[in-house]
Amino acid sequence: MAPSEPAAVSSSDADLIAAWQGGDEQAAAELVRRHARALARFLGATGAGGADVDDLVQETFIRAFRALDRFRGQCQFRTWLLTIGGNALKDAGRRAAREKVVPLDDYLPAPGGDPHERAVAGETAGKLGRELARLPRLQREVFLLRAQQGFEYEEIARALATTPGAARVHYHHAVKRLKECLT
Closest separation between CB of residue 122 and another protein, Å? Answer: 11
* Residue in 17, 45, 81, 142 binding another protein, rule: CB under 8 A: 45
Q: Going by C-beta distance under 8 Å and a sequence separation of 6 or more, which residues neighbour residue 55?
A: 92
Rounded (10°) CA dihedral 116, 40, 84, 125: 0
Q: Site for another protein (CB under 8 A): which residue of 6, 37, 136, 163? A: 37
Q: Are 122 and 108 in contact (CB under 8 A)?
A: yes
Cβ pair 150, 156 in contact under 8 A: no
**List 38, 92, 138, 169, residue binding another protein (CB under 8 A):** 38
Name the one range near another protein by CB under 8 A: 82-90, 91-99, 111-119, 143-151. 143-151
Strands (E), 89-166: none
For residue 149, the minimal CB distance to another protein (Å) is: 9
Q: Which listed residue (48, 88, 89, 142) binds another protein by CB under 8 A?
A: 48
Give the whole-angstrom CA distance, residue 5 versus residue 19: 9
Site map 56..95 versus another protein, x via CB under 8 A: -xx--xx--xx-xxx-------------------------
- Burial class for 117, CB neighbours closer than 10 Å (0-12, 13-18, 19+): exposed
Q: What are the contacts of 151-158 at 24+ separation with CB within 8 A?
A: 151/76, 151/79, 155/75, 155/76, 155/79, 156/79, 158/74, 158/75, 158/79
Q: Rounded distance, CA 11 to CA 19, Å?
A: 10
157 binds another protein (CB under 8 A): no
Among 11, 18, 29, 173, binds another protein (CB under 8 A): 29
Binding stretches for another protein (CB under 8 A): 1, 25, 28-29, 32-33, 36-38, 40-46, 48-49, 53-54, 57-58, 61-62, 65-66, 68-70, 103, 105-109, 124-125, 128-129, 132, 143-144, 146-148, 150, 152, 175, 178-179, 181-182
